[in-house]
Amino acid sequence: MKKLLYILTIFIAISGEIQAQQLPHFTQYMFNDYALNPAVAGTKDHYEVRAISRFQWVGIVDAPQTINLSINGPHTEKPMGFGAYLYNDVTGPTSKTGLYGSYAYNITIVNDIRLSMGLSFGLLQNTIDGTKITLHDIDDPVLQEGVYSTWVPDANIGFYIYDKNWFGGFSTFQLLSNKLKIYDEKSGLNRLKRHYYIMGGYRFDITPEFSVEPSLFFKGTSNVPPQIDLNAKLTYQKMVWLGFSYRSQDAASVLIGYVHNERYYFGYAYDFGISEFKNYNSGSHEIMIGLRFNTIKN
């Protein structure tokens, strides 16, 4: 039994260390910023839905696959917003699922500059599927026939300052830093680490038809080197975009996308590995689709 508990603990640790952090990341983060900061809810005059599916490290057996679905929008009259999001991150026999609801309140600072403050609560499930594990030199049918899962409450908090041409935000995820108990009360413990996000961007209107939007996304957590995403996106007639991104210690990316009638969004990103791990996979693919609803707030 000690071997079983040791293996379960190792699998949890590996699932976090492989991605450098315990939470999944997305190359097209700028199109789903609400999922990275609950304060984004209600900062636009409409509701919107975003779905991103990421296939990481193609060619690697049991490589991470992640799906994120979110919706958020404003109150029709009051300066507040609401939202919800769901994500599922699977790496081999391990998986993580989170479901959250959010509330945000925003105020005017000066002129058109506004500050939004948001909070989200939810449940986080961590699972290890023993039926997908093949053990060598260890005879333990209990592990290989069982699925071990734990649920914990979770919370995130964020602040978001914005104008029509720029934005900046700070958020903290896994705020409660709960412990995960796998298999039984005596099993190894794995604490959820707080994650700190800083984001910012500015849109430059070069001509009536072209605009450029550079942005950055900083990710940090304890005992792990911080990671920075740098992105630049060129948009034509608010309809077609081409972007390039660099994620420190990980990948360089190309992004393309299209908006139909300023309502239906389609995006794709491909990551080229820049670390030594690039020799063992053929990159990562990411697909984004979105829907913008009619304006409900002036």
Q: Sort 262 into a burial class: Cβ within 10 Å, 0-12 / 13-18 / 19+.
A: exposed
Spell out the residues 6+ positions from residue 32 whose beta carbon is closer than 8 angstroms to its own: 26, 50, 52, 68, 70, 288
- Range of weakest confidence among 20-29, 32-41, 142-151, 238-247: 142-151
Mean pLDDT throughout 147-174?
94
The per-residue pLDDT for range 241-284, each reduced to its tens digit, is: 999 999 998 899 999 999 999 999 999 999 998 887 778 888 89
Mean pLDDT throughout 119-124?
96
Spell out the residues 6+ positions from residue 94 whose beta carbon is closer than 8 angstroms to its own: 11, 12, 14, 15, 126, 127, 128, 129
The candidate with the shortest Cα–Cα distance to 83, out of 100, 107, 106, is: 100
Can you tell me the distance from the alpha carbon of 69 to that of 84, in angstroms, rounded to the nearest whole number? Answer: 9
Superfamily of domain 2-295 in CATH is: monomeric porin ompg (2.40.160.40)
Task: Note the pLDDT of residue 22.
Answer: 74
- Range of weakest confidence among 13-17, 21-25, 38-42, 139-143: 13-17
Q: Is the pLDDT of residue 97 over 70?
A: yes
Task: Note the pLDDT of residue 277.
Answer: 77
State whether the Cα torsion 65-278-35-72 is positive or negative.
negative
Can you tell me the distance from the alpha carbon of 111 to that of 44, in angstroms, rounded to the nearest whole number? Answer: 17
Domain ranges of the chain: 2-295
End-to-end CA distance of the chain: 62
Task: Note the pLDDT of residue 42.
Answer: 94
The candidate with the shortest Cα–Cα distance to 232, out of 261, 257, 202, 195, is: 202
